[in-house]
Amino acid sequence: MNLAWADAACFLPEIVVIATAAIGLMLERPLRRVQSDVGSWIALAGLALAGVVTLRFSPSGDALGGIFVRDAFTSTFELAAIGVGTLATLLGSSFLRAVDYRRTEFFPILLLTITGVMIAAGARDFLLLFVGLEILALGGATLLGFFTPNEKSREALMKSFITSGIATAFLLLGFAFVFGVTGSTHYDEVATRVAAHAGTGHPFLELGFGLVVVSLLVRIMAFPFNMYAADALQGAPGPAAGAFSVATVLGGFAALFRIFEEAGAASCNVEWSILLGIAAGSTMVLSSLYATYQDNVKRMLSYATLAHVGFLLAGFAVAYSPKLSAAQSEAVLSAVVFYLLGFVFLQAGAFAIISAVFFGRRFGEYLAEFRGLGRRCPVAGLAYVAIFLSLAGFPPTFVFLAKVQILGAALQAEMFVLTAAAIVGSLIGAFYHLRVLVVMYFRENPHAPGVIPSVPLVTAMTLVTVGVVGIGIFPEKALQTAIESVRVLF
């Protein structure tokens, strides 16, 4: 195995993003003196270049002796990560304008975090996956605690950091057990050896994959780890919380997809559909219930995030039900990827809402502070309506489409309890999202400030609105992308 240009070409999008982050870090010092948005422009330019490279110039194929693969799946997740990066950069730029112009290191940290997602998406070796997830976790933790003068932000950082440290150790122990049985960390060899044990099973194998899955459940913030996640997302600055939530969910799901389909975890002697189904159902129902009695919209949206994660995980659990045929599993996994693609816009939108009203020292996040916002800012109000209706999963938004597909598959798999949990969770979700809209349009508060009129914020909100509405009305392209990216795994 020698490092050739062909390998480097496979990593081109990652290299572009990391190089941009390096430039941003080098310029951080001089940029402190000039009060401008140059930091965010550099990040945006780098992300745009990375997007173009992913779409046009990067070849498919294996790199570094097959530990990294660039295929439709990797590219889809990379584009999603770049999308998160772009939206979070815009939000972060508007956030820094309001809070402290000089903290441009936000953008390099953000870029490094999404690099973690990009590496985790293409990793076909436990060690590379470990590195990717760790870049993601460390970068994400730093993002959450980014604005440390704020006491809550520091607490968010501490909580997520301890949980993520435990998750890392579990992941590693799981890898060690799987490595012990299979003698390799490469997915192909692992899958071959797992298949050899398929009939009888091997206790270390089940323990190992179990630990890995538990660790990835922490990454995607599923039950029983959703409580820390709500704290972390509430305490962090809005743009950082949005970026972290999408990045960690994308990275975690990319790892789950590849480990189940390519490393053979699916053919292990474990009832995955039941275990994951329990985690998914509990995540959905508990998060939705907690969300209903929050008077802090940011915390409510954090729980809403977790409810979406529960639904995504439910789709994943259903796919591994023994009652579904391979084609049906593939279809429901495509629905999950489709949901994830929209989730990027959804989360950016949710946390844009949280970063949009500024009270001089802090951002508006209590329900009472949203009074009359819809009438004060009619145009922004439309964006709010689009985002909240998508979050609540009303037709014709993409969330509705994805949920219908997942529920249909769950019924075919005869997982009735999970279906019921999903429907109950969604109904509760509709209630608490609509409550905010009611407050926005039917309560008055003449003295409250409106949405910050900053260009990056408006751009981000426009992109998000176009995104959620666009994917809902014209889902064909996104669905096609999702189907193609899942197909390469089978």
Least distance to another protein, CB of residue 428, Å:
17
Least distance to another protein, CB of residue 145, Å:
6
Q: In this chain, which of 111, 118, 121, 157 binds another protein, going by CB under 8 A?
A: 157
Contact 216, 252 (CB under 8 A): yes
Q: Is 197 in the site for another protein (CB under 8 A)?
A: no
Q: Provide CB contacts within 8 A for 250, sequence distance 6+.
A: 77, 80, 81, 84, 117, 121, 340, 344
Q: Which stretch binds another protein (CB under 8 A): 19-27, 173-181, 279-287, 332-340?
A: 173-181
Side-chain-side CA neighbours of residue 224 (13 Å): 1
Q: Is 134 in the site for another protein (CB under 8 A)?
A: yes
Euclidean distance between CA atoms 207 and 350, whole angstroms: 37
Q: Dihedral of CA 49/55/56/58: which sign?
A: positive
Q: In this chain, which of 32, 152, 443, 487 binds another protein, going by CB under 8 A?
A: 152
Q: Which stretch binds another protein (CB under 8 A): 21-29, 145-153, 375-383, 385-393?
A: 145-153
Q: In this chain, which of 59, 180, 201, 224 binds another protein, going by CB under 8 A?
A: 180
Shorter beta-carbon distance to another protein: residue 28 or 484: 28
DSSP 191-212: HHHHHHTTTT--HHHHHHHHHH
Q: In this chain, which of 97, 124, 159, 435 binds another protein, going by CB under 8 A?
A: 159
Which residues on neighbouring strands pair with residue 357, listed in sequence order?
A: 451
How many residues line the site for another protein (CB under 8 A)? 41
Contact track, another protein, 110-129, x by CB under 8 A? ----------------xx--
Q: Provide CB contacts within 8 A for 388, sequence distance 6+.
A: 433, 434, 436, 437
The amino acid occupying position 102 is: R
Encoded tokens for 467: 């995104």
Least distance to another protein, CB of residue 166, Å:
6
Euclidean distance between CA atoms 80 and 284, whole angstroms: 23
Least distance to another protein, CB of residue 366, Å:
12
Contact 144, 232 (CB under 8 A): yes
Least distance to another protein, CB of residue 174, Å:
9
Of 237, 26, 38, 17, the C-alpha closest to 136 is 17
Q: Is 166 in the site for another protein (CB under 8 A)?
A: yes
Q: Provide CB contacts within 8 A for 333, sequence distance 6+.
A: 257, 315, 316, 319, 486, 489
Q: Which stretch binds another protein (CB under 8 A): 174-182, 335-343, 354-362, 437-445?
A: 174-182
Using DSSP, state whether 296 is helix, strand or coil: strand
Shorter beta-carbon distance to another protein: residue 51 or 140: 140
Q: Which residues here bind another protein, judged by CB under 8 A?
A: 126-127, 130-131, 134, 138, 141-142, 145, 148, 151-152, 154-159, 161-162, 165-166, 168-169, 172-173, 175-177, 179-180, 183-185, 231, 234-235, 290, 294, 296, 299
